[in-house]
Amino acid sequence: FATGEWAAIGELLQDGPDAGDSAAANAPFEGDDRGHRTPRRTLPGPISERSLLRYHAPELADALYELEKRHAELPRTMPTLALFWTDGQRTLAEIVKLVELETGVHASEYIADYFEILVKLEAIEW
């Protein structure tokens, strides 16, 4: 764990102090504009997708299930961490990078798809 953390710090230092503010922050979404979008929470506190699913089309439950199944190897804390960093000011790319720094796992596709489901559940907006 410590070796991985040390390597991550080394990469950040090598990129320079402005690395998080530059195009590098959008790197997880290279060739795609999704990383520039800024999600804003519409609900305070923790979000329970399961509770929200009761009020929406069953297809959203299927979409969430398929997303979780496709990314079963990811830490279960991934959605909670992504929502923690969602403050209405950070871009999706910045959120992905912060979650990656916390977990050591790159999951831009998962987080982008998860947020799209949350938009349909009216828990966040772009």
Quick: pLDDT tens for 15-73. 554 444 444 444 566 667 788 999 999 988 888 888 888 888 899 999 999 999 999 99
pLDDT of residue 22: 43
pLDDT at 24: 46
Provide the pLDDT for residue 37. 94
Looking at per-residue confidence, does 7 or 106 come out higher? 106
The whole-number pLDDT of residue 92 equals 96
Tell me, what's the pLDDT at 28?
Answer: 61
Query: Number of helices and strands (H, E) in the chain?
Result: 6, 2
Tokens encoding 42 = 């519409």
Question: What is the pLDDT at residue 88?
Answer: 96
CA distance 53 to 55: 5
DSSP 10-66: HHHHHH-TTGGGSGGGGGGGTT-GGGG---EESS-S---HHHHHTTS-HHHHHHHHH
49 touches 63 (CB < 8 A): no
Q: In this predicted model, which residue has the larger pLDDT, 76 or 6?
A: 76
pLDDT at 15: 58
**Interval 74-115: pLDDT, tens:** 999 999 999 999 999 999 999 999 999 999 999 999 999 999
- Distance, in Å, from the CA atom of 69 to the CA atom of 63, rounded to the nearest integer, reads 10
From residue 42, alpha-carbon distances to 2, 7, 93, 118 in Å are 37, 36, 20, 10
